[in-house]
Amino acid sequence: MRILFVHPNYHSGGAEIAGSWPPAWVAYLSGSLKKAGFDDIHFVDAMTNDLTDEQIAAEIRRISPDVVGVTAITPSIYAAERILEIARDEHPHAVRVLGGVHATFMYKQVLSEAPWVDVIVRGEGEEIVIDLMRTIDEERWPEDRRKIKGIAFREDDQIVATHAAATVKDLDAIEPDWDILEWNKYTYVPLGTRVAIPNFARGCPFTCSFCSQWKFWRDYRVRDPKKVVDEIEKLVTDHNVGFFILADEEPTINRKKFVEFCNELIARGLPDKIKWGINTRVTDIMRDKELLPLYRKAGLVHVSLGTEAAAQLKLDQFNKETKVNDNKEAIRLLREADIFVEAQFIVGLDNETEETLEETYRMAWDWQPDLANWAMYTPWPFSPLFQDIRDQVEVFDFSKYNFVTPIMKPSAMTRGELLNGVMKNYRRFYMQKALFHYPWRGTGFRRRYLLGCLKAFLKAGFARTFYDLGKAGYWGPQSKDKVHFDFDETRTLAEAQVADWESAADRASRAAERRAAIRAQGKERAAERAAAAKVCGGGTQQLPENA
């Protein structure tokens, strides 16, 4: 059986300004499938190669697959749906499969707006996709589809979701097929070297209100550090990778395992060959301040910190469990350990004003991270915060849910004014860094890395791909009232998806009512027992002797 995976062609001028990122999902799925005996697997990276619909159609015709599979995060969902629509037209006998975080939670929306999608894989795909491919290969599809856990599909006029599949318990059993990728095309701009995104752990025990990762991966699991280093060593040896970013939301959660990982890298001499970066929480940096020199020795050079907000009110709203002063201290500790630190700020909520944007700039400059990033708040439609503010959401064009387009309109600002305020922060921060910091702070690797980061910003700025400025028509403060975000206003929430949310909300409300009723009954019974005890002589007052 021939399987074709396609990575959707979607660009937004966000994280991609730092490089062309290898789509690790296809390596993990292909590795699992090949281990299960499926060896006729093909991959088309439409994003990296910037393929048109016509070119994608030509590839589907050329490969003539039995299955076409794509993945999608929220902003790339329409591009992914379009690929499967092309597959329907060009090769209608192929089974069309969609996976990824958006489809997992929004399967009723997807199957309503894109009925040509044959099946959605919900959750981690490595084990589900094996069951799915075997069913197709053995010609039991679609008759046996209800027997496959973790999928959703249309059946007549109904949308059916089978029982959820278990998470992958043995992550070390997964052997990614890195050979399937076009490694000469994946470059990390600051260092001009090949880049990879391996997986150290899955899941997150924290429940930040704006995030969906903890919902998608569910339970937290850590791989054997030696197995991860085996994988990285292979990437260095076989594919000449010189930089990697751990895909985890927070790889430092399990400190013992992370320290083992660092020591293993050092023992094999890999820090001389490859450098790396991570995302993590402020609290972990505070916890590990004595270990930061070890992390740097292991090759860790870049930490992206989820500082998220300058105002404590916003940190509380995001359920970040951190304090503003902690952010400043964590940045200081990383800089002292010679680790580049990037501070992440979320802006664009309802209470954003010119004053709060100015506050984030002043704090960023006071804290002195090496890099700063202002990301537009993006209300993932499957996150808890979205449910809280759903009545305020006006835009349901998910292609714009990309951290650079202001989905939410603050009460006191237009979207154009918000974008202009963010650009003002970027201009001031990086202009001062470029003039007074990057060229003069340190020598050798530190200077080269910071100038490489500046090069990435300038390259995207001149090409007007940074923050989608070219598409939005932003040319500076004079254009803030003429900015156009071109939201597709025909995009709406599907009735089936809204009904599903309302049903879930009703279930949650009923469950809360049941819990409250049980507590009330408990208190009532306790009061009755106390009263009975008093009647039986346990009270503080005795009946009169002549009663």
User: What is the structure's pLDDT at 501?
Assistant: 73
DSSP state of 537: I
DSSP state of 184: G
- Helices and strands, number each (H, E), in the chain: 19, 16
Sign of CA dihedral 123, 126, 131, 135: positive
DSSP state of 346: E
Could you give the CA distance from residue 431 to residue 423 in angstroms, rounded to a whole number? Answer: 12
Neighbours of 160 (CB within 10 A): 14
CB of 115 closer than 8 Å to CB of 82: no
Tokens in use for 294?
A: 């070890």
- Phi, psi dihedrals of residue 283, rounded to the nearest 5°: -60, -35
- Tell how far CA 184 is from the center of its chain: 25
Tokens in use for 238?
A: 């076989």
Q: What is the 3-state secondary structure (H, E, C) of 146-183?
A: HHCCCEEEEECCEEEECCCCCCCCCHHHCCCCHHHCCH
User: Which residues of the chain carry a pLDDT beneath 70?
Assistant: 205-218, 308-322, 442, 503-522, 524-547
User: What is the structure's pLDDT at 534?
Assistant: 55
- The CA angle 34-35-40, to the nearest 5 degrees, is 15
User: What is the structure's pLDDT at 320?
Assistant: 47
User: What is the structure's pLDDT at 69?
Assistant: 98
Query: Using N-to-C axis directions, what is the helix angle for 225-239 and 255-267, rounded to 10°?
Result: 40
**Closest C-alpha to 483, from 492, 498, 467, 471:** 471
**Closest C-alpha to 42, from 22, 57, 21, 62:** 62
SS3 260: helix
Give the HSE-up count for residue 362: Cα atoms under 13 Å, Cβ half-sphere.
8
- Tell how far CA 386 is from the center of its chain: 15
Neighbours of 18 (CB within 10 A): 22
User: What is the structure's pLDDT at 310?
Assistant: 44
Sign of CA dihedral 284, 457, 6, 87: positive
SS3 375: strand
Could you give the CA distance from residue 153 to residue 150 in angstroms, rounded to a whole number? Answer: 11
Could you give the CA distance from residue 325 to residue 323 in angstroms, rounded to a whole number? Answer: 5
Tokens in use for 297?
A: 């020795």
User: What is the structure's pLDDT at 22?
Assistant: 97
- Mark out the alpha helices in 178-280 (DSSP H runs): 213-217, 225-239, 255-267
Could you give the CA distance from residue 427 to residue 374 in angstroms, rounded to a whole number? Answer: 12
CB of 477 closer than 8 Å to CB of 424: yes
CA distances from 350 to 181, 323, 382, 411, 435 (A): 42, 21, 19, 6, 35
User: What is the structure's pLDDT at 212?
Assistant: 60
Name the residue with tokens 């995060």: 73
Sign of CA dihedral 364, 369, 375, 381: negative
CA distances from 357 to 272, 312, 362 (A): 40, 14, 9
Could you give the CA distance from residue 181 to residue 179 in angstroms, rounded to a whole number? Answer: 6
Could you give the CA distance from residue 423 to residue 417 in angstroms, rounded to a whole number? Answer: 10
Cβ neighbors of 155 (< 8 A, separation 6 or more) are: none
- Stated pTM of the model: 0.88
- Classify burial at 184, counting beta carbons within 10 Å of its beta carbon; exposed 0-12, middle 13-18, buried 19 or more: exposed
Strands 193-196 and 187-188: antiparallel
